[in-house]
Amino acid sequence: MCGIFGIYGHPRAAEISHLGLYSLQHRGQESAGIVTAGVGGSPRATKTMGLISEGLKVAEVSAMNGDVSIGHTRYSTAGSSTIENAQPMLARFRDGHIALAHNGNLINATELRRDLEDGGSIFTSTMDSEVLLHRIAKSSATSPEAKLADALQGVEGAYSIVVIIGDTLLAARDPRGWRPLVMGKLADCAVFASESCALDIVGATTVREIERGEIVAVDRSGTRSIHPLPASESRKCVFEYVYFARPDSSVFGESVDRARRELGRRLAKEQPATGADLVFSVPDSSNSAALGYAEESKLPFELALIRNHYVGRTFIQPTQAGRDAKVKVKYNAVKEVLRGKSVVMVDDSIVRGTTTKGLVAMVRSAGAREVHMRVSSSPITGPCYYGIDTPNREELIAANMSVDEIAGVLGVDSLGYLSLDGMLESVPSGPAGFCHACFSGDYPTPPPADPEKLRFGCGC
Ligand code: AMP
């Protein structure tokens, strides 16, 4: 998963991108970058591995002139965590320069890349997103939006992108609209971001979502919108509401907090925990769902797990060994809350089971009498080919075990997941129009010919 940001027509565009990226750090903590171009500057990029606060220095960003800027936060799959793969990408071509930041996964990137390589193209990264740069450069169309439209024909999969071509800023979403992308306004400047919380931090107001299959172009003459791609059915990622997006954001035009609380309330109806004393969340991503569960079941909501905020999301460790060690570094249990109690532990999802198993052991050793685990999504039984880093079925605990078996592995007294219908009926504008492939096996596209090859991709 990744976060993307763009701003047009601001004298301090790089600084605004920098600020916006702080609110998109949760979408990727492996690398980050900013590109500037436009009036008052020549195209420049700065990139770093790790967190924005550690790697993107204010003085360096402030020295990046130009009134157009895009930014990116990234996490990827194993093996591709290198600075070459940090985004935004910046390249020169016959008509000037192109910069691009991508959230999603292109499922036919292997084929597209092979075609380009057969034609003599050379690549500087292992990212799927780089094929888009080449395709833009190859287009003989004259306007930036027509070049981008050309480039996107025949590209399959998930992409929300912000692009600079010359002095024009473009924003686009794939025709199924897997990943969010919102447009805002800061004074007279157009702003684009994966989530509305990144508009809030820079003081921008929300204008609207970028539509599925839409390209928006912003330049000196104003804002233009085209819909050049063949229409497809909506397939918004339901996991954005379950886990990824921040609860203070609106994604796909709807409040994440509202969705998550409703997921929790529905979970309480479907999977009550009779006789329990209290409810707690696995912070932070399940806070809102746990509040919904507590409200609905009329149980007190307690803070029984404390999260160390100086440690990133556990999954964002590329190796299993790294993930294991991080559980204890990241969480600790509050013994005074748990001792002698029958507790409901609410989490938004179980993927590999690694974190959850460690947490259950921690909660028990803090003195909990009974641990009833409730999950505000359905069992994840399949890989995601559209931007979430779970490509390997063998790693998914629910792909390989029944709910009872999982309960045994985790060491809980009971385990209850939200049903697929319950999940889809709880999210705003559901139940239709969502991608739930990782839960249901209902993939909107044929799976990629070689899913392992997808791992070379951006995975963001
Ligand atoms: P595990 O017990 O190892 O399956 O980890 C479950 C935890 O990972 C839950 O607390 C989720 O909030 C979180 N999680 C779920 N999906 C992802 C993901 N794609 N990337 C990072 N963390 C995730």
Q: How many angstroms separate the CA atoms of 100 and 165, rounded?
A: 9
Query: What pLDDT score was predicted for residue 41?
Result: 77
Interval between CA 299 and ligand 1 midpoint (Å): 25
Mutation probe of ligand 1 site: the residue of 75, 350, 351 with most atoms within 8 A of C-beta: 351
Instruction: Please give the biggest Cα pair distance in the chain.
Output: 71
Active site residue 2: yes
Burial class (CB in 10 A: 0-12, 13-18, 19+), 147: buried
Does the pLDDT of residue 49 top 60, yes or no? yes
Q: Minimum mean pLDDT among 48-57, 74-83, 85-94, 289-298: which range?
A: 74-83
The mean pLDDT value of the chain amounts to: 93
- 313 CB under 6 A from ligand 1? yes
Interval between CA 259 and ligand 1 midpoint (Å): 18
Q: Whose CA is closest to atom 6 on ligand 1?
A: 350
> The whole model's pTM is what?
0.94
Domain range summary for the chain, segments of one domain joined by +: 3-235, 257-440
- 389 CB under 6 A from ligand 1? yes
Q: How is residue 179 written in tokens?
A: 């990943």
Q: How many angstroms separate the CA atoms of 331 and 324, rounded?
A: 12
Interval between CA 154 and ligand 1 midpoint (Å): 32
Would you say the CATH fold of 257-440 matches that of 3-235? Answer: no
Split at pLDDT 50, 70, 90, the class of 451 is: low
What value does the mean pLDDT take over residues 16-31? 96
- 30 CB under 6 A from ligand 1? no
Active site residue: 2, 197, 438, 460, which one?
2
Minimal CA–CA distance to 39: which of 193, 188, 166, 187?
166
Q: Does domain 3-235 sit in CATH 3.30.70.580?
A: no
pLDDT digits (tens, 9 = 90+) for 226-264: 999 998 999 999 999 999 999 999 999 999 999 999 999
Q: Which CATH architecture has domain 257-440?
A: 3-Layer(aba) Sandwich (3.40)
Query: To which H or E segment does residue 18 belong?
Result: helix 13-22
Q: How many angstroms separate the CA atoms of 342 and 253, rounded?
A: 38
Alpha-helix residue ranges (DSSP H) falling in 233-348:
238-239, 256-270, 287-297, 320-330, 335-338
Q: Among the atoms of ligand 1, which is closest to the Cα of residue 390? A: 19
Q: Can you list the positions of beta strands (E) in 303-450?
A: 305-307, 331-333, 342-347, 370-375, 414-417, 434-435
Interval between CA 354 and ligand 1 midpoint (Å): 9
Q: How is residue 38 written in tokens?
A: 């436009």
What value does the mean pLDDT take over residues 158-166? 98
